[in-house]
Chains A and B, each alone.
Chain A
Amino acid sequence: MNSALFLVLRRMRAPLCVLIVSYAVAMLGLVMIPGVDAEGHPWRMSFFHAFYVLSYTATTIGFGEVPYAFTNAQRLWMIASIYLTVIAWIYAIGKLLQLMQDPAFRQVFRTSAFARSVRRLREPFYIVCGYGETGSELVDAFDHRGVQTVVIDVNPARVAETELADLHFDVPALEADVRSPETLVQAGLHHPKCMGIIALTNDDRANLAVAATAKLLRRDLRVVCRCESSDIAFNMASFGTDHVVNPYALFGQHLATAVRRPGHFLLREWLSAAPDELLREPLFPPTGRWILCGFGRFGREIARGLETEGNRVAVVEVDPRIDTPLASVHGRGTEADVLTQAGIPEAVGLVAGTADDVNNLSITRTARRMNADLFVVIRQNQRASGMLVDAVGADLVVQPTMVVVHACLAALMAPMLARFLDTVSDFDNAWANELLARIAGIMGDRVPESWALEVSERATPALARAVATVDVPLAALLGDPRDRAEPLPAIALAIERDGDLVVLPEDREALQPGDRVLFCGRGRGRRAQQLTVGNDNVLRYILTGQDIPGGWIWERLTARAPVEEELAR
Chain B
Amino acid sequence: MNLEKVVFGFFIILAMTLNFGFFIGDMADPVQHNVYEMYAAIVVSLIATVLKFGDRTQVGALHLATSLVADLQLIAGAVIWAYAQHATVEGVTPSTVSGVVSLSGGAFLANLVSAALLIIETAQLRR
Q: Which residues from chain A sit less than 8 Å from chain B, CB to CB?
A: 6-7, 9-13, 16-17, 20-21, 23-24, 27-28, 31, 46-49
Contact = CB atoms under 8 A, between A and B. Distances in A.
B59 interface: no
B56 A6 contact: yes
Interface string B82-106: 1001100000000000000000000
A12 B53 contact: yes
A9 B86 contact: no
Contact of A6 (B47, B54, B82): B54
B54 A47 contact: no
Given A24-B43, A27-B39, A46 B53 contact: no
Given A10-B53, A13-B54, A20-B47, A48 B35 contact: no
Contacts of A24: 39, 43
A13 B55 CA distance: 11
Nearest to A47: B39
Given A6-B56, A28-B39, A47-B35, A17 B50 contact: yes
Interface string B19-41: 00000000000000001100100
Leading 10 A-B pairs by shortest Cβ distance: A10-B54, A48-B82, A9-B53, A24-B43, A16-B50, A9-B54, A20-B46, A13-B53, A17-B50, A20-B47
A550 to B, nearest CB: 63
8 contacts: A9-B54, A10-B53, A20-B50, A28-B39, A31-B36, A46-B86, A48-B85, A49-B86
Contacts of A6: 54, 56
Contacts of B39: 24, 27-28, 31, 47
B84 to A, nearest CB: 10
A13 B51 CA distance: 6
Contact of A46 (B50, B51, B54, B82): B82
Contacts, number: 43
Contacts of B18: none
B65 to A, nearest CB: 14
Nearest to A19: B50
Nearest to A49: B86
B78 interface: yes
Nearest to B44: A24
Contacts of B54: 6-7, 9-11, 13
A520 B82 CA distance: 82
Given A6-B56, A10-B54, A46 B85 contact: yes
A302 B39 CA distance: 85
B47 A17 contact: yes
Residue from A17, A21, A49 with most neighbouring chain B CB atoms (10 Å): A17
A135 B53 CA distance: 42
Contacts of A16: 50, 53
Contacts of A47: 35, 39, 78, 82
A13 B50 contact: yes
A20 B43 CA distance: 7
A23 B35 CA distance: 17
B51 A17 contact: yes
A369 B67 CA distance: 85
Contacts of B50: 12-13, 16-17, 20
Given A20-B43, A21-B47, A49-B86, 17 more contacts: A9-B53, A9-B54, A10-B53, A12-B53, A13-B50, A13-B51, A13-B53, A16-B53, A17-B51, A20-B46, A20-B47, A24-B43, A27-B39, A31-B39, A46-B86, A47-B82, A48-B82
Contacts of B43: 20-21, 23-24
Contacts of A13: 50-51, 53-54
Contacts of B35: 47
Contacts of B51: 13, 17
A16 B54 CA distance: 13
Contacts of A48: 82, 85-86
Nearest to A15: B50
A7 B56 CA distance: 10
Contacts of B46: 20
B39 to A, nearest CB: 6
Residue from B36, B51, B54, B86 with most neighbouring chain A CB atoms (10 Å): B54
A533 B36 CA distance: 84
Contacts of A23: 43
Contacts of B47: 17, 20-21
B87 to A, nearest CB: 9
Nearest to B54: A10
B53 to A, nearest CB: 4
A7 B47 CA distance: 18
Interface string B38-72: 01000100110011011010000000000000000
Nearest to B87: A48
A377 B53 CA distance: 66
Nearest to B53: A9
Nearest to A28: B39
Nearest to A7: B54
A6 B52 CA distance: 11
Contacts of A17: 47, 50-51
Contacts of B86: 46, 48-49
Contacts of B36: 31
A93 to B, nearest CB: 16
A23 B47 CA distance: 12
B47 to A, nearest CB: 5
Contacts of A9: 53-54
Nearest to B82: A48
A105 to B, nearest CB: 13
A6 B39 CA distance: 29
Contacts of B53: 9-10, 12-13, 16
B50 to A, nearest CB: 4
A47 B53 CA distance: 27
A293 B85 CA distance: 94
A20 B44 CA distance: 9
A31 B82 CA distance: 14
A110 B65 CA distance: 28
Nearest to B51: A13
A31 B85 CA distance: 15
A16 B78 CA distance: 21
B76 to A, nearest CB: 14
A47 B85 CA distance: 11
